A and B are shown apart, each in its own frame.
Chain A
Amino acid sequence: MIRARNLNHNLPGFNLRDISLDLNKGDYLTLLGPSGAGKSILLETLMGLITPDSGTIHINNLDATQLPPEQRGIAYLPQDLALFPHLSVRQNILFGAPDRKNMSAATMTWLNELLQLLNLEQLIDRRSVLNLSGGERQRVALARALLPKPKILFLDEPLSALDAFTKRQLQVKLREINRLLGVTILHVTHDREEAFMLGERIAVMIEGQIEQIGTRDELYYRPETLAAARFLLNQNIFRLEVADRDANNNLQLTGELPLTYPPDAQFNKGQKVIAGIRGEEVIIIRPDRSVPVWLQENRFMATVVDIYLKGGSHAVLTRMTDYPIDIEVEIPNCAFRDMNVNCGDQLDLCLKKQALWLLSEPEDQEISTC
């Protein structure tokens, strides 16, 4: 639907650097990044509110780089919603309907369907949008955006000001809109949980460029750049070097700690690499149970230094006995209670080789593993 290629734009304080992005029909793509990464600028560029310095935007295979926003067919829900304060709820919702003064039966039916979908039947006759609650305002703004039946909907952190309960209800609605109405969605957020919950694909944007774009699993388990890995809260990151290949073609890595990595042709002997593993992929081997073959590599003894509760799981911070390395292990609450882990305990850890990710080390970049 949207194909952006090599977009560059320089603004004081913000810039877009060589951005290429595809948004396919029916996609729910979340654009995740810290504030100031240029996410909103990218949205505004794709919408035609900003003209890029260079690069092209195609919408439905037509060159739309110079097309004004009203001809791009992209609906937009900004963070502040921008409900028109001089109009009633009904006038706001019908703003984009060409036949709003003399509605056709089709528009009427569609309006009623939307009101039902977004539970707005009670609110449609309110004379002002100024005294609606936060969640009501979001729903009115969503209805206004959807009324012209857009094929594409851009969301710019529309849920960030809501309480957790209302936020969740609207997140469910957004997925419904994507699934039931077939609206292609590009959703900007700085909230990792929201990005993974809603997005079938996720693009991580940092400092004006897209670091990685892929499915949830690719982003979660296979970060492609160090910046993406860090932003996605990979706590266990090591700087290593490819020492050799073993008989099974596994890579033998040395450096801060010795690791075995499954066969991978893109890494060569002597190459500097960065390896990592998510805390929830680190396995604690229980002394009273037999260890399967696939858990016999990458085994380390470590001492529990601290324990944090993270809602549904516990984060156990450990220090390796033989290496000056801290490893964060994330354990679901039920398993944590079952294992009875306490500070000072010795744990037998396995950094399962299939769960490791590996990058070639970028030049001139410092990494810290803390």
Chain B
Amino acid sequence: MVSKRDRLFHLLLWLPLVGLLLYFLSLLGALTPFFAAETFFSTLTSPSVQSAIRISLLTATISTLLAMAIAVPVAYALSRFNFFGKRLIDTVIDIPMLLTPVALGTLLLMLFNTDFGLWLERMGFSVTYTINGVILAQFTVIVAIAIRLLKSSFDDISPRYEQVARTLGCSATRSFIRVTLPMARNGIMAALVLTWARAIAEFGATVTLAGTAKGKTATLPTSIYLAMASADLEQAVVLIVILIVLAFAVLLATRLLATGARP
């Protein structure tokens, strides 16, 4: 039996939940008046949308792989070793996560305006208004997130496993490869999916550093912005639908990974 007072409590629990769900569904529903099936596929196959999809998938994948390549060793070092200044380093690494991406993009622009940046550009690595810039902007935004996620995965694995592996003849490197990495598999996969999703969605830093040139640097999010700016609702709708489908896929994948066998 639910007492009268508890009935109110239950109401207070369920009402926000139902309300929020309706709100989100109505957000999705808001698309329907602008959704026209006959133009959907022609817009989807248009060169600008196709190139936005291609650039988004390519840059997000490259920036995620780069971020993971840096984040795995950094997170492992932060998780396993104590060294002078560790806390400071830990804090500095978190800064990009809290800074608004527009500010990060601006900082990147400034960096590439210094002698060092100009030298890099002369050496052939230009970032302003190029696809390199898209990748760099995404990388800068996601690398700290990847480090956080991976560090907590490594923290969860007792160093004892590596110690036992060492006594069974493994070097530190071998025990990392044979024990820690496979044990952190689910955490690494989850970090991959989440950082990739964050990279696909990246807007502020990308648009500031790389702009949004159709077929060159325009990604899915920056293309939506461009479509809205030129009042091309049909294209905006198609791009939003693509992002929603991607978001669903990503969330489903992380759920499946999270419920997978974990030590």
Contact = CB atoms under 8 A, between A and B. Distances in A.
Given A70-B169, A70-B171, A98-B169, A82 B163 contact: yes
B166 A49 contact: yes
A84 B183 contact: yes
Contacts of B168: 70, 75, 95-96, 144-145, 148
Contacts of B125: none
Interface in A114-162: 130, 144-145, 148, 154
A68 B183 contact: no
A148 B165 CA distance: 12
A69 B167 contact: yes
Contacts of A86: 182-183, 185, 263
A10 B178 CA distance: 31
Given A68-B171, A70-B171, A82 B160 contact: yes
B170 interface: yes
Contacts of A98: 169
Contacts of A48: 166
Interface string B148-180: 000000000010110111111111100000110
A80 interface: yes
B interface secondary structure, majority: helix
B146 to A, nearest CB: 22
A237 B233 CA distance: 93
A241 B182 CA distance: 65
B166 A69 contact: yes
Contacts of B183: 84-86
A70 B160 contact: no
Nearest to B164: A82
Given A70-B169, A96-B168, A96-B169, A84 B179 contact: yes
Contacts of B169: 70, 96, 98, 148
Nearest to B262: A85
Interface in B48-66: none
Nearest to A129: B263
Contacts of A44: 163
Given A78-B160, A80-B158, A85 B167 contact: no
B161 A82 contact: yes
B166 A70 contact: yes
Given A86-B182, A86-B183, A70 B158 contact: no
**B161, B169, B183 pick with most chain A CB within 10 angstroms:** B169
A1 B185 CA distance: 40
A76 interface: yes
A82 B172 CA distance: 16
Contacts of A47: 163, 167
Contacts of B179: 84
A76 B163 contact: yes
Interface in A41-84: 44, 47-49, 68-70, 72, 74-76, 78, 80, 82, 84
Contact of A82 (B158, B170, B182): B158
Nearest to B159: A49
Contacts of A95: 165, 168, 178
A144 B164 CA distance: 10
A148 B170 CA distance: 12
Contacts of A75: 167-168
Interface in A293-337: none
Contacts of A145: 167-168
A49 B170 CA distance: 13
A44 B263 CA distance: 25
A68 B166 contact: yes
A11 B3 CA distance: 56
Contacts of B166: 48-49, 68-70
Interface string B190-207: 000000000000000000
**A47, A70, A95, A144 pick with most chain B CB within 10 angstroms:** A70
A39 to B, nearest CB: 16
A263 B167 CA distance: 50
Nearest to A96: B168
A72 B171 CA distance: 12
Interface of B: 158, 160-161, 163-172, 178-179, 182-183, 185, 263
Interface of A: 44, 47-49, 68-70, 72, 74-76, 78, 80, 82, 84-86, 95-96, 98, 130, 144-145, 148, 154
Counting from the closest, the 5 A-B pairs by CB-CB distance are: A96-B168, A85-B263, A69-B166, A76-B167, A82-B160
9 contacts: A47-B167, A49-B163, A70-B168, A78-B164, A82-B164, A84-B165, A84-B179, A86-B182, A130-B263
